[in-house]
Amino acid sequence: MGSSLPTAPAAKPISLDELFERWEAETDPSGRTLSSWRGIMRDLKSFVGDKADDITRIAAEGIVGWKDKLVKANKAAATIARGYLGSAPALFRFAVANRLAASDPSQGIKVARKTKAGKKMLGYSGEEAARLLDLASNAS
């Protein structure tokens, strides 16, 4: 015997575009932020393909793949961290807070920043270091 209780209709999937529009309407970002984030969302949408039609289908592995693509494209680590990996979590946290998604697939995903040794990190010039080493060896 079947249940006579009505079933809840399936929630309509929300796309990245719709999520962005809802975020924009509620947060009223500056024109500069809006312009920058639109480009970032276009890039994410292009990367995730048809998963962009339903944000709940975007997994952490997809965000990592997107980050890896940006690294391979030689984007600066700071640009990836602050721009790309800064805007995506803000939107996904908005989705979670508004019960549009159960989790944030970008949570905890970071880009390793490359630090390059340079002359400005040296406390002494090459000549000064040689003199100090010479003095130290003569003192023994």
Q: What is the mean pLDDT of the chain?
A: 85
Chosen CATH of 16-113 out of 1.10.3430, 1.10.357, 1.10.150, 1.10.287: 1.10.150
Please say whether the dihedral angle defined by the alpha carbons of residues 14, 15, 18 and 24, taken in this order, is positive or negative. positive
Q: What is the pLDDT of residues 13-28, one digit of tens each?
A: 999 999 999 999 999 9
Instruction: Look at residue 137 and tell me whether its pLDDT is greater than 50.
Output: yes
Which of the four pLDDT bands, split at 50, 70 and 90, describes residue 9? very low
Cα–Cα distance for residue pair 36/39, rounded to 1 Å = 5
Instruction: Look at residue 107 and tell me whether its pLDDT is greater than 80.
Output: yes
Backbone angles phi, psi at 46, to 5 degrees: -65, -40
pLDDT at 8: 40
Residue 21: name the closest of 32, 13, 29 by CA: 29
Cα–Cα distance for residue pair 74/2, rounded to 1 Å = 59
pLDDT at 116: 60
Are the beta carbons of 101 and 56 closer than 8 angstroms? yes
Instruction: Look at residue 7 and tell me whether its pLDDT is greater than 70.
Output: no
Instruction: Look at residue 81 and tell me whether its pLDDT is greater than 50.
Output: yes
